[in-house]
Amino acid sequence: MQITRIRALRGPNLWTRSTAMEAVVHCEPHEGDYRTLPGFEDRLRARFPKIGALHPHGADQRLSLAHVLEVAALSLQAQAGCPVTFSRTHETVEPGTSQVVVEYTEEAVGRQAMEQAEALVRAALDDTPFDAAAVVARLRELDEDERIGPSTGAIVDAAVARGIPFRRLTSGSLVQLGWGSQARRIQAAELDVTSAVAESIAQDKDLTKRLLHAAGVPVPLGRPVADVHDAWKVAEEVGLPVVVKPQDGNQGKGVTVNITTRAQLEAAYATALQYGDEVMVERFLPGHDFRLLVVGHQLVAAARREPPQVLGDGVHTIRELVDIVNQDPRRGSGHGTALTKIRLDDIAIARIAAEGLAPESVPAQGQRVVLRNNANLSTGGSATDVTDDVHPEVAARAIEAAQTIGLHICGVDVICESILHPLEEQNGGIVEVNAAPGLRMHLAPSFGRPRNVGVPMVDALFPPGQDGRIPLVAVTGTNGKTTTTRLIAHLFTAHGWRTAMTNTDGVYVNGRQIDSGDCSGPRSARNALAHPEADAAVLECARGGLLREGLGFDRCQVAVVTNVGEGDHLGLNFIHTVEDVAVLKRVIVQNVAQDGYAVLNAADPHVAAMATSCPGKVIFFAADRHHPVMATHRAQGNRVVYVDEGHIVAAEGSWRESVPLREIPITRGGAIGFQVENAMAAIAATWGLGLPWQTIRRGLAGFVNDSDNAPGRFNVMDYRGATLIADYGHNPDAIRALVQAVDAIPAKQRSVVISGAGDRRDQDIIEQTRTLGAAFDDVVLYQDACQRGRADGEVLALLKQGLEGAPRTRYVTEIHGEFVAIDHALERLQPGDLCLVLVDQVEEALAHLRRRCGEAAGTAGAA
């Protein structure tokens, strides 16, 4: 067994809507059924007893080692605590080769699980050791390191529950919620609207206390100190006991409370200096430690925090008792668990020493041993929910404190005897405010009711009814994708939206190109949706990106499938048939929003069949309104777009709206059939989004199919009285559509300049020139700049083969170099002729043609 490739599918994909690892696995003939391998399953289960059933889908047929790999990769993640359930093994047409797909929640974990699953299978084959427990432990540790922390996770979960999309911007806690101009960002429990000034104030404990005191909020007396002697002076001024802590600190680090002697103060001062350059001394307030969580103008949760402690049993030492408490599965080493393990470190040892105890002491039955003076969860403390007990006056003081500092999300630390009474009545006070407070104590308290505090935080970012999304149209198909994408984007712009667009030419936002090259994949889609100026998005989704990584979004409002035809790129990446192409293109239809639309070509049976996969509604388009699919759909009261008496008509029930073809320049009055189809698809998509018809008409009239608006898409030019047409047609379906289009344009003599992409099948390359040989007098063949795996001259030979016995072509020549071939064709042109140039290097070839046409126009003007 050999894994030849592993790749991460980071969005909805061919197999599932979940993120998944896809591995290409080759098995030797004798590995085609694991049950024929003597002792293999016994050795496998001896190494990993919890692997589960090797027939995950209840299958009784022959199962290869690829299926075992699938089960092992899923089981390893499940044992590590990852919430994964989906897996699949698909046998390809290549003998012994399968695609193994296994869901993951964290990419690094999924990849490592696949690699370790391979190691497990190999160990069972070779009868070598494999420590499954150690592997699962490493996967669990990696998952804890990689996954979003509990505070950020709570906010993200609340956003997802409201249908708000999210994207993790870093490996840490910086997350974007929403798309484009509607997007907001959070970092842990901190909102993007919170100023750096407010955060800075919260970190300066002395300044915070002075501002709160000025606002009438009760706080303990104290100030920053210059040295340990100054610290003792302050302690005497405010009165013992006191608290010593770093002026800029968090998570209770370096904090020592209830100090009653100078020796204790000196030790606490040294501890505080380890966590900050400046140290504060303030009056110690007796009572319990409470954390109040304020979001906006409301108190959303409160917890009473207890310091880390153990309860004696008269048998075990303090060290043993700590170990017993740390066996609680809720306790971990980081922030990924509900509680943190208790540390028996120098601070804890000093704390128990004050009571005459040591780590090896055996406390009496029922004796409470406190291991730290502070009650932070990050140092092993516990929490009890007291939200329902907070006195309104205490809540008001907490909200006032948050607003005084300027924090939209604020953790307010209160010390008082009881949260049931106002602070002023019991000499309680607010000792600290925290930006980006930890939420664990509220999400999963040790005792009491959990509070879903992520919900009010998301509500503070997105008012009810808003989901942070912008109108999103996804476009796919074999031909016409880029023109349709550009036309929809043009209509959006006419509507006043700042539009993000991705296609095979680049990424554009609000009319400005921000990336170049083939940008029809998920990475470009994510970048477009992250741009702050995007009010709407139109994303071309080509096969390559779908196969390589899946979609760059979770769902779209409108999905457009222009056509499938005979397919393209067949034979690559296990896509061998037109049916395979259709299943792949169907992915965007499967991910339409429930209130959205799929815009489907009714005349293409593979596309029309996708309607049953759409979670939303369907708009069919086709030139022939009497097509059975169109007629049935309209009879059911659904939306259709068709051509009737020189108009594109949109109809729903008895309602009709029409646009004259003569007012849609790219169709040349309806003469170019494939452009009529592209226009119908664009009209249907914008209709599905609810754009006004006046805007749609105006936008269609203003879209000119030149090399600026739609480079390489039937760009028409004049060269000395001859018609030049430049197009990027590169498969048999596209060539046939182009031939049909140019047939509608009168010409004395017709010539074509063509190359062929080496990554197409032989029959596809041959079919292109076979079609052209029946429609053109002259054929100029040139070799593509990139042969894509073909030998030198191989593509030209296939193109010539397609011209054998051509009924019309009388002149054929081979030329090396695209621009040389173009110039040769131009030299043969006479006024009234037509030349179709099938460009390869689109931008460069168009620039060359424009320059030649400009030179010709200049010469004619001079004459």
Tokens of 195: 């100023």
Domain spanning 715-862, CATH architecture? Alpha-Beta Complex (3.90)
Rounded Cα distance, 447 and 275, in Å: 31
For residue 505, pLDDT over 90 is answered with no
Q: Residue for token digits 């998005």?
A: 537
pLDDT per residue over 445-488, tens digit each? 989 999 999 999 999 999 989 999 999 999 999 999 999 999 99
User: Which region among 328-337, 432-441, 478-487 has the lowest average model confidence (pLDDT)?
Assistant: 328-337
In CATH terms, the fold of domain 472-701 is UDP-N-acetylmuramoyl-L-alanine:D-glutamate ligase (3.40.1190)
What was the pLDDT predicted at 205? Answer: 85
* Angle (deg, nearest 10), helices 842-862 and 818-827: 30
pLDDT of 266 higher than 80: yes
What is d(CA 351, CA 368) in angstroms, rounded to the nearest whole number? Answer: 13
* Mean pLDDT in residue range 137-156: 92
pLDDT, position 62? 77
What pLDDT is attached to residue 570?
Answer: 61
Helix axes 196-203, 392-405, angle to 10 degrees: 120
Could you give the CA distance from residue 785 to residue 254 in angstroms, rounded to a whole number?
A: 66
What length is written for the chain? 863
What is the C-alpha R_g of the chain? 35
* Whole-prediction pTM: 0.86
Distance CA(178)–CA(572), nearest Å, equals 35
**Percent of the chain whose predicted confidence (pLDDT) is above 70:** 96
Q: Which two tokens stand for residue 402?
A: 């948050």
Nearest CA among 587, 567, 585 for reference residue 577? 567
The token duo for 724 is: 């030049």
Quote the pLDDT of residue 571.
Answer: 61
Is the model's pLDDT at 857 over the cut of 90? no
Distance (Å, whole) CA 443 – CA 457: 13
Tell me, what's the pLDDT at 380? 83
Domain limits, CATH 3.90.190.20, in the chain? 715-862
pLDDT at 624 over 60: yes
At 60 the pLDDT is 60
What integer is the mean pLDDT of 348-363?
A: 88
The C-alpha atoms of residue 800 and residue 814 are separated, in whole angstroms, by 9
**What average pLDDT does the segment 231-236 reach?**
94
Q: Give the pLDDT of residue 763.
A: 86
CA–CA separation, 730 and 764 (whole Å): 9
* pLDDT range class, residue 418, cuts 50, 70, 90: very high
How far is CA 12 from each of CA 15, 98, 110, 583, 592, rounded to the nearest angstrom? Answer: 8, 20, 16, 13, 11
Q: Inform me whether the pLDDT recorded for 59 exceeds 60.
A: no
Query: For the chain, what percentages of helix, strand and coil (3-state, to nearest 5) are there?
Result: 40, 25, 40
Residue 847 has pLDDT above 60, yes or no: yes
Reference 288, options 426, 403, 467, 395; nearest CA is: 426
In CATH, what number does 221-283 get?
3.30.1490.20
Contact indicator for 781, 754 with CB cutoff of 8 Å: yes
Reported as a single tens digit per residue, the pLDDT across 682-695 is 999 999 999 999 99
Among 194, 191, 163, 198, CA closest to 175: 191
pLDDT of residue 333: 74
Tokens for 229?
């002697």
Report how far residue 173's alpha carbon sits from residue 411's, in angstroms, rounded to the nearest whole number: 18
What residue spans in the chain does CATH classification 3.40.1190.10 cover?
472-701
Q: 368-370 and 309-311: which strand pairing? A: antiparallel
C-alpha distances (whole Å) from 447 to each of 378, 386, 444 are: 17, 9, 8
Alpha helices in 512-576 (DSSP H): 522-530, 543-548
Q: State the pLDDT at residue 707.
A: 72
Average pLDDT, the chain: 92
**Does residue 253 have a pLDDT over 80?**
no
What does the alpha-carbon distance between residue 242 and residue 180 come to, in Å, rounded to a whole number? 51
Positions of CATH 3.30.1490.20 in the chain: 221-283
